[in-house]
Amino acid sequence: MNITTPPEPAWQALYDVAATQEGLFTTRQAAAAGYSPPLLAHHQKAGRIARIRRGIYRLVHFPPGEQEELVTAWLWTEAKGVLSHQTALWLHSLSDVLPGQIHLTLPLTWRHRRFRVPEGLVLHHADVPLEERTWVGAVPVTSTRRTLNDCALAGLSPDLLRQAAKQALGRGLVTKTEMGKVETALKSFGGIRG
For residues 44 and 74, state if they share a domain: no
Q: In what order do the strands lie in the sheet with 121-125?
A: 121-125, 102-106, 82-83, 139-142, 133-136
Which tens digit of pLDDT belongs to each residue from 87-103?
999 999 998 888 899 99
53 and 80 in a single domain? The answer is no
Residue 97, CA atoms < 13 Å, CB-side half-sphere:
31
**Tens of pLDDT, residues 81-138:** 999 999 999 999 998 888 899 999 999 998 888 888 889 999 999 999 999 999 999 9
Instruction: Report yes or no on 194 lying in a domain.
Output: no
Count structural domains, the chain: 2
Does residue 6 lie in a domain region? no
| In a shared domain, residues 163 and 106 | yes
Same domain, 84 and 171: yes
Q: Are residues 23 and 119 in the same domain?
A: no
Q: How many CA atoms lie within 13 A of 85 on its CB side?
A: 20
In a domain, 49, yes or no: yes
For residues 76 and 166, state if they share a domain: yes
Residue 6 has pLDDT above 70, yes or no: no
Q: In Å, how far are 21, 88, 182 from 143, measured between CA atoms?
A: 20, 8, 14
Q: Are residues 38 and 85 in the same domain?
A: no
Give me the domain span that covers residue 23.
11-59
| pTM to 2 decimal places | 0.89
Residue 185 lies in a domain: yes
Q: What's the pLDDT band for 194 if we cut at 50, 70, 90? A: low
Residues 94 and 34 in one domain: no
Host H or E run for residue 130 = none
Phi-psi region at 91: left, alpha or beta (left = phi > 0; alpha = psi -120 to 50): alpha
Residues 87 and 35 in one domain: no
| 94 and 46 part of one domain | no
Q: Do 52 and 100 reside in the same domain of the chain?
A: no
